[in-house]
Amino acid sequence: MDSKIAIIGLGYVGLPLARLFATKYSVVGFDINQKRISELNSGNDVTLEVDEITLKNVLVNNSSAAIGLFCTHNLEDIKDCNYYIVTVPTPVDKNNRPDLTPLYKSSETVGKVLKKGDVVIYESTVYPGVTEEECIPVLEKVSGLKFNVDFFAGYSPERINPGDKEHTVEKILKVTSGSTPEIGLKVNELYKSVIIAGTHLAPSIKVAEAAKVIENSQRDINIAFVNELAKIFNILEIDTQAVLEAAGTKWNFLPFKPGLVGGHCIGVDPYYLAQKAQERGYHPEIILAGRRLNDSMGEYVASQVVKLMIKKGVTINGAQLLMLGFTFKENCPDVRNTKIVDVVSALTDYGIQVTIYDPWAKPEEVWHEYQLKTTNELPTMTFDSLVLGVAHKEFQTLDLSKLKNDNCVVFDVKGVLKDKADGKL
């Protein structure tokens, strides 16, 4: 039987994957967001992960095409598929507890069309056990089919890096797994057919789930370490960047930099692993300590900015500050879980008037998520303080002198302004 693939969720992960599979297979991209489907069918990807020409080259106008991508919000259009790949978000709630709602709902969706012999593959980042202990029971209940008898499952963790045009999905080695050894091989061959970087077949779904969640937990802990170093060296009046450059001359020193840890992966995934560990009676110390430290950095940045402003004689209450950047990372429109919001909140608590300029972030999306006003246009007024929070390419050549009042403080969170800043992490 020919492989026909349904991608469930067409966001930062699902669309690039759908586009790639569509170069060799019949692919139906499914998303409940009708506006998103309309935009994609016109060749417009607002996430900027797939450009218009590339997208239009794979789009087809019906779900029965032998090769190509058909985007839809109609459940009927995915009922003929035999592979269902789930790429929905896995966020945390306000208390940093894993929220599996998107996974449950997408599993219900797939369960409605699941047939004998079908394979359901999950790519969403989860703690070990979610696929088999949480998602599979939903599939069985809705479909009436029996797992590993009538249908099968796989897990292949996403490794998308939003905004990265060099390390695209086909160039990143893919971990794969299956619910039986035979299905593992089938899942591996499916991905191997389009991933030029190759694949790694894990011995079980839980191993693959665990591998993904520790990738980002490891980065989180390493960044927390250098964030703590930045705090220590600031007290000692030592340039953190200079220290890291010196230490980096040793061949096995890891090149991490201090900063704000946001986004939908590094700032979220460690909580998934911690949750599972706590369910089994183990309290993870290093993982949660790293999370606490990284989550404190927004308020720390704000306090450092205020100290510099006071030293320069700037009146804090009512001061005008320009925040350069709001997205969670550079050259990317994604504002999910951005930690710039923590900096803005802390600065506002000091009585500072904050203007947020970000040429990448969509003002309506920022308002919807955070009830904050942002602008895509560089302000024409001058400010008492400038804070570079995100290293967008537009900021590299920005003439800061036109934005500065007398005694203006410039704080560089990302360490890219070299000698132009009064303070940095």
Can you give the pLDDT at residue 94? 85
- Active-site positions read 265
Cα 30 to Cα 47, 55, 70, 192: the distances in Å are 16, 15, 9, 23
Which pLDDT tens digit goes with each residue over 258-316? Answer: 999 987 788 888 999 999 999 999 999 999 999 999 999 999 999 999 999 999 999 99
Can you give the pLDDT at residue 418? 76
Which pLDDT tens digit goes with each residue over 98-155? Answer: 999 999 999 999 999 999 999 999 999 999 999 999 999 999 999 999 999 999 999 9
What's this model's pTM, rounded to 2 decimal places?
Answer: 0.91
Can you give the pLDDT at residue 397? 87
Q: What is the 3-state secondary structure (H, E, C) of 52-87?
A: HHHHHHHECCCCCCCCEEEEECCHHHHCCCCEEEEC
Which of 43-57, 156-170, 396-410 has the weakest average pLDDT? 156-170
Q: How far apart are CA 213 and CA 123, in angstroms?
A: 12
Can you give the pLDDT at residue 423? 85
Which pLDDT tens digit goes with each residue over 195-206? Answer: 999 999 999 999
* 53, pLDDT greater than 80: yes
Q: How far apart are CA 253 and CA 270, in angstroms?
A: 23
Residues whose CB falls within 8 Å of the CB of residue 137, separated by 6 or more in sequence, listed in order: none
Which pLDDT tens digit goes with each residue over 169-188? Answer: 999 999 999 999 999 999 99
Compute the mean pLDDT over every residue in the chain, rounded to the nearest whole number: 94
Can you give the pLDDT at residue 424? 85
Which pLDDT tens digit goes with each residue over 59-104? Answer: 999 888 889 999 999 999 999 999 999 999 999 888 889 999 999 9
Find the mean pLDDT for residues 161-168.
82
Q: How far apart are CA 370 and CA 115, in angstroms?
A: 41
Which pLDDT tens digit goes with each residue over 215-253? Answer: 989 999 999 999 999 999 999 999 999 999 999 999 999
Which pLDDT tens digit goes with each residue over 7-16? Answer: 999 999 999 9
Predicted confidence band at 1 (pLDDT cuts at 50, 70, 90)? low
* 419, pLDDT greater than 80: no
* 349, pLDDT greater than 80: yes
Beta-sheet strand order (sheet of 374-375): 374-375, 353-357, 320-324, 383-388, 404-412, 423-424
Query: Tokens 């020193």 identify what position?
Result: 253
